[in-house]
Each structure stands twice: as C-alpha cells, then as structure tokens.
Amino acid sequence: MTGADADTLRSALVQHLVAAGTLSDERVAAAFQAVPRHVFVPHVPLEVAYADDVVPMKQNRAGVLTSSVSQPSIVALMLQQAAVRPGDRVLEIGSGGYNAALLRELAGPDGAVTTVDIDADVTDRARTFLDKAGYADVDVVRVDGEFGEPGRAPYDRIVVTVTAWDIATAWWRQLRPEGRIVVPLRVRGQTRSVAFDLVGEHLESRSTTMCGFVSMQGVGAHYERLVPLDDARLTFDEDQEGEPHPEKDVLELHREQLWSGVQLQREEPLLDLYLWLACTLPGYCILNGAEWSWVAAVATADSVAYVSTRAGRDESHVELGCSAHGPDAGALMESVVDQVRTWDAKQRTGPGPTFQVHAAGAELPAGFHIARRHSYITVQWEDRAEADC
Ligand SMILES: C[S@@+](CC[C@H](N)C(=O)[O-])C[C@H]1O[C@@H](n2cnc3c(N)ncnc32)[C@H](O)[C@@H]1O
C-alpha cells in the first residue's frame, strides 16, 4: 500500500462519518482529514486502520482489554462535545496518540496538548507515534490520570478517554473557570460521554452521547458489585452497597408477569428508560445470564423483577412489561410497570436526562443523587410537557 492509498482511505472514513451523521463540525472533519490514523496502529492493515472501529492495543493477563485506539465515530462525537478552540490548553486522560494528534490540530499553533496514561507501554508508544506523525509538540506523560497533570494546568478542556465513575477532584482544580470536561461517565451500568461545563463551583452537562471505553485503572478504579444467582447475576453500583438482594435460586420461583400497554419500536433504545427506572426505583440493578442479556431489574431481599417484552401491535413493535419471582413479585411488577408508563407519558420523546456534579458537602439541586468518592452526581429529568413550552 502506498501513502496515496492511506489518503484515499482516510477521505473515505471522513465521508462515512459525515454520511452517518457522527461528524458534522468542519474543524473536526479537517482534523480527521489531516491526522494519519495508520501511523498510530502500525500492526493492522490500512483498511483496518481506516475502518470505523476500535483497534485493540493491549490486554491484561486475564485477557481484558486495557488499551485501544478508540473508534473514530466515538472520537468524532467526543471532539464535537469538547468544542476545542484555537489556543486552548487541553489535557487528554488515556493516551493512544491518535486522539491527542486530533486535539493538537484543533488547539492550533497557539494551543497546547498534554496526554497522560497510567501505562508506560502506552505512553512510550504514543510518544513514538506522535513524533512519527509530526506531533512532537504534544506532551506525553506517564501518570495516574486521577491526579490530572498539575504541571501544565490550568486547562480549557479536559478530555477523558477511559471510563470514569467519578469526577476526580484534580480535574475540577485543573480546569479553568468556565472550562469544559468531556468524560465517559458510568452510572448504573451505562456509560455516557458527558460534556460538563464548570459553572461556579459545580459542573453542568451540556450534551451526552452513549459510548463504551476500557475501565479506569489506578486510584480511580471502581468495581461493580456482582451478586450471583443460578445461571445469572445481578450487578449493582459501588454506592449501592446496602441494597438487599435475593437468594441464588430466586429465578426458579414461580414467574409472574404484568404488561404495560406501552408499545416500543423494536430498534428503539432502552437506555433512557433504564436510567429512568434507576432514578425512580429502589433496588435497581442489571440482570445478566443465560436467558437475559443486560436487562434492567429491581431486587429485594427475597424477590427480583425485570423488564420484559412480548409481541406488540405489529411486527415492528414490542410491548413492554415486567416479569418477577418471589413473594414481592406483585408489588415490584406494579412499580416497574407504573414507571414504564410514566416514562412513556413524560420522558420518552423528551430531551433525556441531564447531569450535574457537585463536590461532597455542597448543597445539592433537586434530582436523583448518586454518591461517589469525590462528588455527588445528580441526574435530572425535565418532563416532556415542560420541555415543549
Ligand atoms: C481507550 S484508551 C485511550 C484511547 C486514546 N485516547 C486514543 O487516542 O484512541 C484508554 C487508555 O486509558 C488508560 N488508562 C486507564 N486508567 C488510567 C488512569 N487512571 N490514568 C491514565 N490513563 C489510564 C489505559 O492505559 C488506556 O491506554
């Protein structure tokens, strides 16, 4: 393959991202056109380097992916969320080199980009590839990103490219007033890239998009709580330590079902509904197993209920409902179905959730609060009726 082939494939990738609606900002498109992605993934063929796909870079001993060069469509969406301006000082947490080069293009000659990674293999590789691609002026530092990189702060933009469960204190401190942080934030089993602006003493979300990233290592690592059932498991967040859960054989108890009448397009995403249930129902968790793949559930000390579907009014629809096992089945199904109907009436076509982050100890706004190590995440929902006004 020649250099011209790489240019052609790169243009085709840009056109694909534009046609798919993930790349709409002209400056970000120009950056994608300028940065040779294949230089950052030399171990794969050019066609793979310019496919809209993640390129795995490193696994740990257990075979879990710990580093990758991210999928171009996610990179594009996050760069658009970040809205980097010429002259901005930018910190990237989680290196690979490729995204740092894109950030360097966007920050321009008067800006500065620092990229940090916890893994020396990654920073060594990023340094080599950035130099080779002509971005020797990107600073590459090996450090646990939980602590940011104070030596080059303050930053106008912080772009986190690894799944975070919290907004580390260092990130707030190193952000300029009115600065922006874009972070893949994991809440109740879902990861959304959230663009937060620093507004006074707290962060307010400006946009969100669903995404998936490798998990943060180091001091900010987080472990979800897994509760084994027979042939299945329930997953709770770290802050749900006190939530009760049923015995392992609960799914073998008699199953009851209740249907909501809410019809859903087969392809319609359920993630906002699931987050709504997480915000409104105690005992929210995720059910996985032989028969269930990532289903919203609620648990008590002796029962479990989970979202179910059955054939809808025609082939392209399903009806939402709830299945449950255990002595609390009736009450759990009523509450799940009630919230499915409320979501359908008030949220389904609304603007979706917004997020605020406040430091521990600060006065919290109205909303659903999730306590994290350094902060409180507040999820807020505007009713569709209010949003339409
Ligand atoms: C998805 S990769 C980053 C992709 C990259 N930004 C690119 O250009 O495509 C995530 C990276 O985060 C790193 N990472 C994980 N935990 C970290 C931490 N606490 N601090 C800094 N980097 C971390 C991993 O080593 C991995 O290289």
Supply the residue whose CA is at minimum distance from atom 15 of ligand 1.
216
Pocket lined around ligand 1, Cβ cut-off 6 Å: 66-70, 93-99, 116-119, 122, 144-146, 161-162, 213-214, 216-218, 220
Atom of ligand 1 at shortest range from CA of 70: 9
Please tell me the distance from the alpha carbon of residue 284 to that of residue 274, in angstroms, as a whole number.
9
Mean pLDDT along residues 106-133? 98
Q: How far is the CA of 94 from the centre of ligand 1 (A)?
A: 3
pLDDT, tens digit (0-9, with 9 covering 90-100), for 313-350: 999 999 999 999 999 999 999 999 999 999 999 999 98
Mean pLDDT along residues 102-109? 98
What integer pLDDT is reported at residue 361 of this predicted model?
Answer: 87
Atom of ligand 1 at shortest range from CA of 75: 9
Confidence of residue 3 (pLDDT cuts 50, 70, 90): low
Nearest to 10 by CA among 42, 46, 41, 54: 46
What integer pLDDT is reported at residue 1 of this predicted model?
Answer: 47
Three-class secondary structure of residue 170 per DSSP: helix
Instruction: With beta carbons less than 8 A apart as the criterion, state whether 17 and 76 touch.
Output: yes
Q: Which of 161, 191, 223, 374 has most ligand 1 atoms within 8 Å of its beta carbon, as the pocket-test mutant?
A: 161
Atom of ligand 1 at shortest range from CA of 221: 19
Supply the residue whose CA is at minimum distance from atom 6 of ligand 1.
95
Mean pLDDT along residues 130-156? 98
Supply the residue whose CA is at minimum distance from atom 5 of ligand 1.
96
Mean pLDDT along residues 303-312? 97
Atom of ligand 1 at shortest range from CA of 94: 12
Q: Which of 67, 123, 374 has most ligand 1 atoms within 8 Å of its beta carbon, as the pocket-test mutant?
A: 67
Residues 6+ apart with CB under 8 A from 307: 270, 273, 274, 277, 295, 296, 297, 320, 321, 322, 336, 340
Q: How far is the CA of 309 from the centre of ligand 1 (A)?
A: 37
pLDDT, tens digit (0-9, with 9 covering 90-100), for 48-73: 999 999 999 999 988 899 999 999 99
Q: How far is the CA of 119 from the centre of ligand 1 (A)?
A: 8
For residue 209, is pLDDT > 80?
yes
Q: State the chain's mean pLDDT as an integer.
A: 95
- pTM score, two decimals? 0.95
In the block, which residue shows the tokens 């600065």?
179
Atom of ligand 1 at shortest range from CA of 57: 27
Instruction: With beta carbons less than 8 A apart as the criterion, state whether 165 and 216 touch.
Output: yes
What integer pLDDT is reported at residue 233 of this predicted model?
Answer: 97
DSSP code string of 303-344: -EEEEEEEE-SSTTEEEEEEEEESTTHHHHHHHHHHHHHHHH
Burial of residue 223 (CB within 10 Å: 0-12, 13-18, 19+) is exposed
Nearest to 276 by CA among 340, 333, 320: 340
For residue 359, is pLDDT > 60?
yes
In b/e form, how buried is each residue of 343-370, taking b as 16+ CB within 10 angstroms? bbebbbebebbbbbbbeeeeeeeebbbb
Q: How far is the CA of 77 from the centre of ligand 1 (A)?
A: 17
Mean pLDDT along residues 201-208? 96
Supply the residue whose CA is at minimum distance from atom 13 of ligand 1.
94
In sequence order, what E strands does 88-143 have? 89-93, 112-117, 139-142
Confirm whether 95 is a catalytic residue: no
Burial of residue 309 (CB within 10 Å: 0-12, 13-18, 19+) is middle
Instruction: With beta carbons less than 8 A apart as the criterion, state whether 158 and 81 touch.
Output: no
For residue 385, is pLDDT > 70?
no
- Between 360 and 263, the higher pLDDT residue: 263
Mean pLDDT along residues 81-96? 98
For residue 388, is pLDDT > 90?
no
Mean pLDDT along residues 364-380? 95
Instruction: With beta carbons less than 8 A apart as the criterion, state whether 159 and 91 touch.
Output: yes
Nearest to 192 by CA among 174, 207, 172: 207
Please tell me the distance from the alpha carbon of residue 177 to that of residue 29, in angstroms, as a whole number.
28
Please tell me the distance from the alpha carbon of residue 231 to that of residue 218, in angstroms, as a whole number.
32
For residue 370, is pLDDT > 50?
yes
For the chain, what is the total number of helices (H) and then of strands (E)? 10, 19
Please tell me the distance from the alpha carbon of residue 209 to that of residue 184, in angstroms, as a whole number.
9
Please tell me the distance from the alpha carbon of residue 167 to that of residue 172, in angstroms, as a whole number.
8
Q: How far is the CA of 117 from the centre of ligand 1 (A)?
A: 5
For residue 387, is pLDDT > 70?
no
Q: How far is the CA of 40 from the centre of ligand 1 (A)?
A: 14
Atom of ligand 1 at shortest range from CA of 97: 8
Confidence of residue 389 (pLDDT cuts 50, 70, 90): very low
In sequence order, what E strands does the chain have? 55-59, 65-69, 89-93, 112-117, 139-142, 155-160, 175-187, 190-199, 202-210, 225-229, 232-236, 255-265, 284-289, 295-299, 304-311, 317-325, 354-359, 368-371, 375-380
Which position among 68, 70, 73, 205 bears the catalytic label?
Answer: 70
Q: How far is the CA of 162 from the centre of ligand 1 (A)?
A: 5
Please tell me the distance from the alpha carbon of residue 260 to that of residue 319, in angstroms, as a whole number.
7
Please tell me the distance from the alpha carbon of residue 191 to that of residue 58, in angstroms, as a whole number.
21
Nearest to 99 by CA among 65, 57, 153, 154: 57
Q: What percent of the chain has pLDDT over 90?
A: 91
Q: Which of 183, 214, 219 has most ligand 1 atoms within 8 Å of its beta carbon, as the pocket-test mutant?
A: 214
